[in-house]
Amino acid sequence: MIESIWTHGLVAAGDSNAVKDAINAICQPHWFFILSNVALFVFLMGYRTFTKPAFALFALLAFTAFYILSALDPDFLSIIIKADNVPITMMMYLTGFFAWLGFRQSAINDTRMEQGQPLLEAGSDDKVLVWPDLVYTEMIALVLCTVFLMVWAVVLRAPLEPPANPSVAPNPSKAPWYFLGLQELLVYFDPWIAGVLLPGLIIVGLIAVPYIDKNPRGNGYYTFKERKFAITTFMVGYLIMWIVLIVFGTFLRGPNWNFFGPYEFWDPHRPAALLNIDFRDIFWVRWMGRAIPTEDWSGIPYYLVREAPGIALLLGYFLVFPVVLKHTVFRRMAVQLGGIRYGIMVFLFLWMLLVPIKMALRWTLNMHYIVAITEFFLNV
Amino acid sequence: MSVFGRFGNWVREGQVWGSVFRHGVPRDRRTRAMAVLSNVFLHLHPVAVRKSGIRLSFTWCMGGLTFFLYLVEVVTGVLLMFYYRPTVEYAYFDIEGLRAYVTLGLLRELHRWGAHAMVIAIWLHMLRVFLTGSYKPPREFNWGVGVILMVLTLLLSFTGYLLPWDQLAMWAITVGSNMARATPLLGYEGPLASLVNIGGVPLVHAGDDARFGLLAGTFVGPNALLRFYVLHCVFIPVVATILIAVHFWRIRKDGGISGPL
Ligand code: HEM
Q: What is the residue-wise DSSP string for B78-89? A: HHHHTT---STT
What does the buried/exposed string (b/e) look like for A349-359 if buried means 16 or more CB atoms within 10 Å of the residue's CB? bebbebbbebb
Mean pLDDT (chain B, rounded): 91
Residue among B65, B172, B260 minimizing CB distance to A121: B260
Q: How far apart, in whole angstroms, are the C-alpha atoms of residue B261 and residue A210?
A: 17
Taking the Cβ of residue A122 and every Cβ of chain B, the question of whether any pair is shorter than 8 Å is answered with yes
Pocket flag, ligand 1, residue B139 (CB < 6 Å)? yes
Say how far apart CA A66 and CA A251 lie, in whole Å: 15
Task: Answer yes or no: is pLDDT of A30 > 70.
Answer: yes
Same domain, B113 and B74: yes
Amino acid A56: pLDDT: 94
Whether B261 maps to a domain, the answer reads no
B109 & B138 share domain: yes
Write the Ramachandran bin of B207: left for phi over 0, alpha for psi from -120 to 50, otherwise beta: alpha
Decide if A128 contacts B33 (C-beta within 8 A): no
Cα A300 to chain center, whole Å?
40
What's the alpha-carbon Rg for chain A, to the nearest Å?
25
Give yes or no for a contact between B163 and B224, defined as CB atoms under 8 angstroms apart.
Answer: no
Q: How many structural domains is chain B composed of?
A: 2
Of B54, B129, B134, the residue with max ligand 1 atoms within 8 A of its CB, to mutate for a pocket test, comes to B129
Q: In the predicted model, what is the mean pLDDT of chain A?
A: 90
Residue B258: inside a domain: no
Does the beta-carbon distance from B136 to A213 stay under 8 Å?
yes
Structure confidence by residue, pLDDT tens digits, A222-269: 999 999 999 999 999 999 999 999 999 999 999 988 899 989 889 888
pLDDT of residue B114: 97
**Residue A377: closest C-alpha in chain B:** B191
Rounded to whole angstroms, how far apart are CA atoms B162 and B88? 11
A159: chain B residues, CB-CB within 8 Å: 166, 168
Query: Of A239, A202, A236, whose CA–CA distance to A92 is shortest?
Result: A239
Please report the pLDDT score of residue A4 as a whole number: 54
For the cut 80, the answer to whether the pLDDT of residue B52 exceeds it is: no
Q: CA-CA distances (angstroms) from residue A190 to A303, A359, A370, B90, B190?
A: 18, 13, 12, 37, 10
Q: Which of B176, A47, B244 is nearest to A39 (CA)?
A: A47
| Ligand 1 atom nearest A206 alpha carbon | 30
User: Per-residue pLDDT averaged across A203-227, rounded?
Assistant: 95
Residue A48 pLDDT exceeds 90: yes
3-state helix, strand, coil split of chain B in percent (to 5) is 65, 5, 30
Cβ-defined contact of B49 to A105 (cutoff 8 Å)? no
pLDDT digits (tens, 9 = 90+) for B135-156: 999 999 999 999 999 999 999 9
Asked whether residue B10 falls in the same domain as residue B112, the answer is no
Angle at alpha carbon of residue A77, lines to B161 and A90, rounded to 5°: 55
B203-213 per-position pLDDT tens digit: 888 888 889 98
**What is the distance between the alpha carbons of residues B249 and B238, in angstroms, rounded to a whole number?**
17
pLDDT at B197 over 90: no
Does the CB of B167 have a partner CB in chain A at under 8 Å? Answer: yes
Could you report the per-residue pLDDT of B227-261, keeping only the tens digit for each?
999 999 999 999 999 999 999 999 999 988 888 87
The answer to whether residue B13 sits within a structural domain is: yes
Q: How many CB pairs under 8 A join A and B?
A: 288
Q: Looking at residues B54-80, what average pLDDT do you find? A: 94
Domain-located, residue B34: yes
pLDDT higher than 90, residue A45: yes
B65 lines ligand 1 (CB under 6 A): no
ipTM score of complex: 0.92
State pTM to two decimals: 0.93
| B124 falls within a domain | yes
pLDDT band at residue A277, thresholds of 50, 70 and 90? confident
What is the pLDDT averaged over residues A55-81?
93
Specify if B53 maps to a domain: no
Residue with CA at minimum distance from ligand 1 atom 11: B63
Greatest alpha-carbon span in chain B: 92
Is it the case that residue A3 has pLDDT exceeding 80? no
Quick one: pLDDT at residue A61? 97
Alpha carbon dihedral A246, A248, A253, A258, in 10-degree steps, equals -120
Q: Is residue A307 within 8 Å of A280, Cβ to Cβ? A: yes
* Statement to judge: residues B160 and B246 lie in one domain: yes
E strands present in chain A? 127-129, 372-373, 378-379
Are B205 and B235 contained in the same domain? Answer: yes
In a domain, B239, yes or no: yes
Q: How far apart are CA A104 and CA A93, in angstroms?
A: 16
Report d(CA B252, CA B57) in Å as an integer.
Answer: 20
Per cent of chain B over pLDDT 70 is: 99
Cα separations in angstroms, A256 against A182, A187, B248: 16, 11, 45
User: A336 to each of A62, A220, A324, how far by Cα in Å?
Assistant: 43, 21, 17
B74 shares its domain with B43? no
If you average pLDDT over residues B8-34, what whole number do you get?
87
Tell the residue nearest (CA) to atom 7 of ligand 1.
B63
Is pLDDT at A68 greater than 90 in this prediction? yes
pLDDT value, residue A235: 98
Flag if B259 and A124 touch (Cβ within 8 Å).
Answer: yes
**Do B81 and B206 fall within a single domain?**
yes
Answer whether residue A107 shows pLDDT above 90: yes
pLDDT (tens digit per residue) in A130-144: 888 888 888 999 999
Residue B207 has what pLDDT? 80
Please name which of A244, A216, A225, A242 lies closest in space to residue A44, comparing C-alpha atoms.
Answer: A225
B40 plus B69 within the same structural domain: no
Answer yes or no: is the C-beta of B73 below 6 A from any ligand 1 atom.
no
Query: How confident is the model over A131-160, as a mean pLDDT?
Result: 91
HEC string for B118-158 = HHHHHHHHHHHHHHCCCCCCCCHHHHHHHHHHHHHHHHHHH
Please indicate, yes or no, whether residues B36 and B157 belong to a single structural domain of this protein.
no
Higher pLDDT, B42 or B215: B215
Pair (B77, B26) in one structural domain: no
Residues of A in contact with B33 (CB under 8 A): 129, 131
Question: Is the distance from CB of B165 to CB of A156 less than 8 angstroms?
Answer: no
Check B113 against A179: CB less than 8 A apart.
Answer: no
pLDDT at residue B46 is higher than 70: yes
- What is the residue range of B90's domain? 58-253
How many helices (DSSP H) and strands (DSSP E) are in chain B?
Answer: 12, 3
Q: Does residue B259 lie within any of the structural domains?
A: no
Q: Cβ–Cβ contacts within 10 Å for residue B95, how many?
A: 21
Nearby residues of B136 by Cβ (< 8 Å), 6 or more positions away: A210, A213, A216, A218, A219, A220
Of the candidates B158, B55, B163, B52, the one whose C-alpha atom is nearest the C-alpha of residue B115 is B158
Q: Could you tell me if B100 and B179 lie in one domain?
A: yes
Report the alpha-carbon angle B215-B155-B135, nearest 5: 145
**Tell me, what CATH number does B247's domain have?**
1.20.810.10
In this prediction, residue A1 carries a pLDDT of 46
Q: What is the pLDDT of residue A250?
A: 92
* Same structural domain, B14 and B79: no
Lowest model confidence (mean pLDDT) among A9-13, A74-78, A100-104, B197-201: A9-13
